[in-house]
Amino acid sequence: MYSSPARVQNVFGFFTTVTFSIAALVALSSAVFPANPTATIDVREFRVIKGRAHQYYYSKVQEYAFINFDLEADLGSLFNWNTKQVFAYISASYPGSPGSKFSENEAVIWDVILPSHSASKLYLRNERAKYNINDVTGKFAGENVTLSFHWNVQPHVGALKWGSVGLSEAFTLPPVKTKRVKGNNSA
């Protein structure tokens, strides 16, 4: 501490120690806030259509599922002082046809980034899925699909937090080119 450069080094050195200690405390403080978001999903409409991916290098014709859904979600409890943003998404999962080696399948059909607490309530009616999914085998009809709602908290400091809440009723994808409305599903 005899000379000015020595004092600059000392102050800066201890500044980094304090900064990392506070950052660690902030990261740990996230655990104090309870995360109990709510969500309900209802499937409105679903159909399977044969099509080609919008990719010039891949011309295989395969089955695509189009899904419309209702969503009501309240993610307010995920926003605290250490929340940068919340990523929420809906995935469709289905067991795969009997005998298939792909026995557990999950694909994201819709997602959203919530940047602040004021955007934490979601209310969607007959929302069309952002992503039309196709199966790895190219065939879809007859699959027993369930939608589920997932959230992912991205904090300023600390670890990402993942969770899942809200499961729709299972529905069976109809054969190609027919359109069914919920409740009219004979399978």
Partner 1 sequence: MDQIQSVIDGFIDFEGQSLAETLTTAILVLTGIAAFGAGWVLSDLKYTVYVGLSGTVLAFLAVVPPWPIYTRNPLTWVAIAAPPEVVMVDVKKEM
80, 84, 90, 91 alpha-carbon torsion, rounded to 10°: -120
Residue 35 CB, shortest distance to partner 1, in Å, is 16
Which span (5-13, 54-62, 93-101, 122-130) binds partner 1, by CB under 8 A? 5-13
Q: How far apart (Å, rounded) are the C-alpha atoms in residues 163 and 115?
A: 18
Which span (22-30, 56-64, 88-96, 176-184) binds partner 1, by CB under 8 A? 22-30
Sign of the Cα pseudo-torsion (135, 140, 146, 149, in order): positive
Q: Is 115 in the site for partner 1 (CB under 8 A)?
A: no
Structure tokens at 124: 């969607």
SS3 content of the chain, % helix, strand, coil (to 5): 20, 45, 35
Q: Is 164 in the site for partner 1 (CB under 8 A)?
A: no
Q: Which of residues 144-163 bind partner 1 (CB under 8 A)?
A: 156-157
User: Which of 14, 102, 123, 162: binder of partner 1 (CB under 8 A)?
Assistant: 14
Q: How far apart (Å, rounded) are the C-alpha atoms in residues 82 and 79?
A: 8
Residue 41 CB, shortest distance to partner 1, in Å, is 30
Q: Which of residues 60-99 bind partner 1 (CB under 8 A)?
A: 80-82
By C-beta, is 18 or 160 nearer to partner 1? 18
By C-beta, is 29 or 152 nearer to partner 1? 29
Q: Is 3 in the site for partner 1 (CB under 8 A)?
A: yes
CB count, 10 Å around CB of 65? 24
How buried is 59 (Cβ within 10 angstroms: 0-12 exposed, 13-18 middle, 19+ buried)? Answer: exposed
Structure tokens at 65: 């599922």
Interface positions with partner 1 (CB under 8 A): 1-5, 7-8, 10-11, 14-15, 18-19, 21-22, 25-26, 29, 80-82, 156-157
